[in-house]
Structure 1
Amino acid sequence: MRLMSLRLAAGALAASLALAACSTGGSDADPTSTGADGAAISVAISPATQLIPGRNIEAYDFNMAVWAPLTFVDADSTLTYVQAESIETEDAITWTITLREGWTFHDGTPVTAQAYVDSWNAVAYGPNAFENSGQLANVVGYADLNVTEGEPATEMSGLKVVDETTFTVTLLGPDSQFPMQVSQGQTAMYPMPASALDDFEAYNRHPVGNGKFALTNDFVENEPLILEAYADYQGDAPTVSQITFVPYADTATAYTDVLAGNIDVAGLPPNKMAQSATDFGADHVYSFEAPGISFLGLPLQDPRYQDIRVRKAISMALDRETINKVVYGGLFTPATAFTPAIEPGTPVGICGELCEYQPEKAKALLTEAGGFTGSMNVYYPGGVGLDELYTAIANQLRQNLGVDAVATPSTDWAEFYETRLNGLATGPYFSRWGALYPSQQNTLRVFFVEGGGCTNCIPWYDPEVADLIAAADAQVDGAEAASAYAVVQERIMEEFPAPPLFFEAYSFVTSERVAKLNTSAAGNPNYSQTILAEGA
């Protein structure tokens, strides 16, 4: 059988997924732009402790500027090659990746197939305890590097170097989504130079990538990161020559600093969404459709939530439209499925009346289920701008169901995360995920497969659901894959383990220096392709 090129494989992912093989990183910017000297922007980011791609959980914007991925998925879900020249398969199990020639890391060493294989093995190696290790879990041999007893292996048997620019990846089973898994969102797939493998602590102080921008200063926690355009970058030129990432512990302060012109871009906090257009004007508020979705997680180990009628009642008691208007300024979309609408094939509307505001039906269902005893503690992470949202949720549950519902914030994110991770939340709680690549696969795996990535976000793990997801992954034909993922959601609907809340948009505000902020299907701005205002 002849090799099936990525043109066929990617086209089969979903009807809306296209391929532009001649591109080296899609954007809405002028592809001929070279980025004038002195064209600099400053961007607010969350404080980070780890910049290494395999460990990054906070520094996505930094990673996407300093590294180039194998593939890139743009805002229109068009998949293009970047570091990869081609990605081919004949069975969706073994994939052959051929790299573009002439690319180098910022230290001048070549980007080779061996560099990719060594990097992926280092990220997957259990004793290294890299947070993003699980992104490689579907590669044959991953389990051998993550044993509970005895000495772990150091190399995955599913990775083989063919020559300087070619390597193969063998997966545990057929997976048509692999070309998207190596796009910009899954940072564990980024390559590292050989020098990084000798001292990860030193590498974290000054990471060296293969992307458009190189870090100029050593990393010091809570200090700005200054990036300069890499002169020898082989892909599309950036439209700016410098990016300074400025850490902010308080999102409200970052918002105020953009308004004052002290920095150029910041994420829009939820509690500022309703007023942002008034503060900045419509031209400087950006809301990008994103592969993010939020749920109201439920403590299913508690007998009070085990009756499906209770779960349905909670969902129908929520007026998502009003919450979206009042809290989010209309920038979000009430969810009607278990995956974001931007992910190809999502069966929008599958939730039906259970995701509609039906307060009378909700109260009748709860009564039919025997009512609800005790208080309903609606728990969420404090200090991140979610107070108004969860206060509204608690108020609606109290008013529409007659339950003693109260919104309770954690002290901080760390406390909330540990509580949810250990299954200790006593009532409905914050639950969300922003997919790392725009496929139903990523969202469904994360929420509904044990160990998939968001532990206890929705603590319901049905083996039948895992099998259905695997069956959908194996479908190479786009229409058949979409139908197979829809079957997964039909099975989830039968149990309705958690109410979907919102399809998210990732929103940002900019200073007057920014004429256009570009994005991708990951929802994050593509800062390297920012268009500055004339004279900025």
Structure 2
Amino acid sequence: MRHRLVPLAATIAALALLATACSSGGGTGDDDGAASGEPTSFSIAISEPDHLVPGNQYVSYEVVTSVWSSLTTIDPDSAEGWVPLVAESVTSDDNVTWTVTLADGWTFHDGTPVTAQSYVDAWNYTAYGPHAQVNGGQLARVAGYDELNPAEGEPTTETLSGLAVVDERTFTVTLVGPDSQFPLQLSDAQTALFPLPESFYDDPEAFDRMPIGNGPYAMTEPWVDNEPIVLEAYADFPGEAPLSDRVELKPYLDMNTAYTDVQAGNTDIVFVPASRIGQVEADFGDRVRSYPSPGISTLGFPLEDPRFADPRVRQAISMAVDRQALSDAIYGGYYTPASAVTPEAMIGSPTGLCDFCDFDPDAARDLLAEAGGWEGPMVVEFPGGSGLDELYEAIANQIRQNLEIDDVTAQPTTDWAEWSAKVEAWEVTGPHFARWGALYPSMQDTLRNMYTSAGGCYNCTQYSSPEVDDLLTQADAAPSNEEATELYIAAQREILSDFPTAPLFNDAYTFALSEHIEEVDAISGSIVLSRVSVHE
């Protein structure tokens, strides 16, 4: 079975097409609301949801992560990078079998308790192949997943052998192998790992329209296509209470429209589209927020092509690209040049690891000459219709000028679907777009997905290595986070010695705020709606 190239939600955010954005229509907010005792509110512009069942959503992240709370949550200041949320503890003696104990007092919005069975039943449903839940692969490391998703025929069981309920608040998870990063995988963005109430199984289709979660906000009315979704603070939420009482999530077809709505005072927060990022500071001044995200953009190469077989050719192309100049000109300086294989937002991710990521056209030309030079045209390829034309045309121009190659052009596909098919078939013929947006901020996520044959973005890189596989296996089994970090960095050094890709940028998610918003907070680059406060 082929793996998807990139999680769609992450790709959309990276390309700034239909990314997260917040907006507050003129009638939803009242600056005097809190002072007068009236509910405080804001609205948020989102792409039209596909589904609201957490195990089956691609582009409904803002809704789902507000209606649900995760077992753990990211905390870069903690020793392990995470802290418990719905879980009271997540522990293991061997990194293979994990015991999850739930904190007391958590309920679904219908008042029923969140129990260990709520998780085990939900994970079994989501992992069961015939249910075709798009996020089912997030459970692939749980023992028994392959039996629920056989290569041929129907599964002979409906439950994961690696799950067991111990008591009302405790369950165990047995993985297919040691995984020191499992608690991070239980955090905010892995929505397939959210619990489901018993009412879900009575009518999954109806639940998809009116979901019942365990998060800080609850739905007020069923979701209607192309209509706003209204959430209200859940009064019995045992976690940190939301700062605003009400959220309206409004679907937008074009984030440029949302951007102008913020300028007009009709929206509160918008994920800044790529076409506007160069002007956002002039338009919004100190009402701009930019957060490092766990995504990295790289320049991939067709490694099976003899013209790119010599790593010095790939290294020369990398050193011919002035990343900072591209970020300043195209991304307003918000994207930082990558200097390692994993983004800086990852826990423990190093900087300065990639010597050939430094801009040095003289050294680049020397390297290319040592490798025998370049003959003929070079085509830099990327997905069309994704707002990437300016970037990849600039990259092609820099390669042509700095390596003194006569014919270097940028060539887009018609759309993302054509691009996916082209990369899936390994029909890309030159340096090309490649990106991974991780769902949890561990180096493991990026390294395993981009640089192993089983990874979701293996087709982006065409690269795997027994030495890298071995280092990743050791890191996954490491007894401490510090030892795991050292081994993930060692795997990066091994990858960079082969230089299969040229790291380009550490991604950042940039937002513009209306004057109605007092402050926002973010986890892994994404704004947390329950932490949005409005002016009183």
Q: Per-residue displacement from partner, 1:176-225 (whole Å, max 9, x unpaired)?
A: 21111101011111111223234433332222211111122322333322
Distance 1:84 1:268 in 2: 34
2:252 corresponds to 1:248: yes
**Which of 453, 456, 467 pairs up with 2:456?**
453
1:420–1:224 CA distance, 2 compared to 1 (3 A): farther
1:358 aligns with 2:376: no
Contact 1:421-1:455 at 8 Å conserved across structures: no
The Cα shift of 1:403 comes to 4.7
Which amino acid is 1:325 matched to? D
> How far apart are the structure 2 equivalents of 1:140 and 1:523?
31
Give the drift of 1:355. Answer: 0.3
Measure, in 1, the Cα distance between the counterparts of 2:382 and 2:259.
22
Instruction: State whether residues 34 and 239 of structure 1, in contact with CA within 8 Å, keep that contact through their aligned partners in structure 2.
Output: no
C-alpha distance in 1, partners of 2:163/2:499?
39
Name the aligned partner's letter for residue 340 of structure 1: P
Structure 1 pair 472/375, CA: closer, same or farther in 2 (3 Å)? same
User: Aligned equivalents of 1:331 and 1:469: distance in 2?
Assistant: 31
Equivalence for 2:17? none
CA–CA separation in structure 2 for the residues paired with 1:202 and 1:302:
51
- Cα distance in 2 for partners of 1:181, 1:118 equals 18
Match of 1:140?
143
Change (3 A) 1:134 1:360: same
Give a deviation string over 1:270-318, Cα, whole Å, max 9, x none: 2322211110112x10011221211012222323222211111110110
Cα separation, partners in 2 of 1:240 and 1:88, compared to 1, 3 Å: same
Partner of 2:195: helix, strand, or coil?
coil
- Please name the residue that 1:56 is paired with: 57
1:334-369 Cα offsets, whole Å, 9 max, x none, are: 1010011222322311111x0011112222322332
- Structure 1: which amino acid aligns with 2:169? T
Contact 1:36 1:240 in 2 (8 A): no
| 1:117-136 matched pairs, under 5 angstroms | 117-136=120-139
Distance 1:231 1:480 in 2: 42
Q: CA deviation at 1:158?
A: 0.7
Q: Which residue of 1 aligns with 2:163?
A: 159
Q: Corresponding residue for 2:271?
A: 267
- Kept in 2, the 8 Å contact 1:251–1:384? The answer is no
Alignment gaps of 5+ in structure 1 = 1-32
In 2, distance between residues paired with 1:288 and 1:159?
Answer: 36
Q: Which runs of 5+ in 2 are unaligned?
A: 1-33
Mark the CA change 1:231 to 1:422 in structure 2 (over 3 Å): closer, same or farther.
farther
Match of 2:28 in 1: none
Contact 1:379 1:427 in 2 (8 A): yes
Q: CA deviation at 1:455?
A: 4.1
How far residue 480 of structure 1 moved from its aligned partner, in angstroms, is: 1.7
Deviates most, 498-507 or 459-468: 459-468
User: What residue identity is the alignment partner of 1:127?
Assistant: P
Deviates more, 1:395-404 or 1:486-495: 395-404
The partner residue of 2:515 within 512, 516, 525 is 512
**In structure 1, what is the equivalent of residue 481 of structure 2?**
478
Cα 1:495/1:137, change in 2 over 3 Å: same
- In structure 2, distance between residues paired with 1:449 and 1:185: 22
Q: Check 1:422–1:329 CA distance in 2 against 1; reply closer, same or farther (3 A cut).
A: same
Shift of 1:381: 2.7
Q: 318-327 or 144-153, which moves further after superposition?
A: 144-153
Partner of 1:209: 213
| Alpha-carbon distance, 1:441 to partner | 0.8
Structure 2: how far apart are the matches of 1:54 and 1:451? 21
**Distance (Å, rounded) in 2 between the aligned partners of 1:244 and 1:387:** 33
Inter-partner Cα distance in structure 1 for 2:35 and 2:114: 23
Q: 1:35 to 1:523 in 2, by over 3 A?
A: farther
Q: Aligned pair count?
A: 499
Question: What aligned pairs does 1:52-451 form with structure 2 within 5 A after superposition?
Answer: 52-74=53-75, 76=77, 78-152=81-155, 153-282=157-286, 284-352=287-355, 354-401=356-403, 402-451=405-454
The CA deviation string for residues 405-426 of structure 1, in whole angstroms up to 9 with x for no partner, is 2223333333323332332323
Out of 500, 507, 531, the position equivalent to 2:533 is 531
Match of 1:21 in 2: none
Q: Which moved more, 1:265-274 or 1:72-81?
A: 72-81
How much has 1:383 moved relative to structure 2?
A: 3.2
Partner in structure 2 of residue 496 of structure 1: 499
Instruction: Quote the RMSD (CA, aligned, Å).
Output: 2.0
Q: Which amino acid aligns with 2:394?
A: A
Q: Distance in 2 between matches of 1:528 and 1:348?
A: 32
More deviation, 192-201/502-511: 192-201
> Aligned partners of 2:162 and 2:262: how far apart in 1?
47
Q: 1:35 to 1:265 in 2, by over 3 A?
A: farther
Letter in 2 for 1:286: R
Tell me the CA shift for residue 37 of structure 1.
Answer: 4.5
Q: Which amino acid aligns with 1:63?
A: V
Alpha-carbon spacing, 1:420–1:336, altered in 2? closer, same or farther (3 Å): same
Residues 1:34 and 1:188: Cα distance change in structure 2 (over 3 Å) = farther
Aligned equivalents of 1:478 and 1:523: distance in 2?
A: 22
Does the CA-based 8 Å contact 1:74-1:519 persist in structure 2?
no
1:242-277 Cα distance to aligned partner (Å, 9 max, x none): 112222222222211111111111111223222111
